[in-house]
Amino acid sequence: MPAQRIAKRTTAAAAAQLSTLQALKKHTAMPEKPLAVDEDVSTVHPYPTSAKEREDVVNSQTGRKITTFQFKVYDLCSQIPKGQISTYKHIADALQSSSRAVGQALKVNPYAPLPVPCHRVLDSKLFIGGFMGQWGKGEKIKNKKAKLFHEGVVFDETDHVTVETRDKVIFNDFNVLKSSQV
């Protein structure tokens, strides 16, 4: 009889402990890898660096000539290191421009994912933001999130960079070149 009581207590204690561990795991587990079609963060496209090389470059996505402003945005975006993010606002402030103009330039970025990693640019509240003309939810956003996950950037359940990692991942130390330096 005493052995049966001990077994019941042990089983009940083990079940309670397992329940507690599952609850802890639920709140502290690493996020799951997002499902995506395109997780590529390593393809490097040829990038014109001199003013002469940039004179007549046509964007393969739009069929239009890439503007000086677009190249300025791409130059700053290319400075964001792997594993870090910046915001449309940080880039806009560095260029004395608007966040919307920066977003429009990045929407047609023909140099992604490298050397112009536009997937590393989020909105000013560190929400996943937009990607390739899509905002908030959808296949393109899943791809952006997967690219960032691959680089070590973690999002919470509302698709914002986690509070615990924000200070470690924000980049805004841009080196803005004057037109004569390009």
Just list the catalytic residues.
118
| Residues 77/120, Cβ–Cβ less than 8 Å | yes
Q: Which helix H or strand E contains 87, and what residues bound it?
A: strand 86-87
Question: Which SS3 state, helix, strand or coil, does residue 157 take?
Answer: coil
> Before 115, cis peptide (omega within 30)?
yes
Alpha helices in 35-131 (DSSP H): 51-54, 68-77, 88-95, 99-107
Question: Which SS3 state, helix, strand or coil, does residue 121 take?
Answer: strand
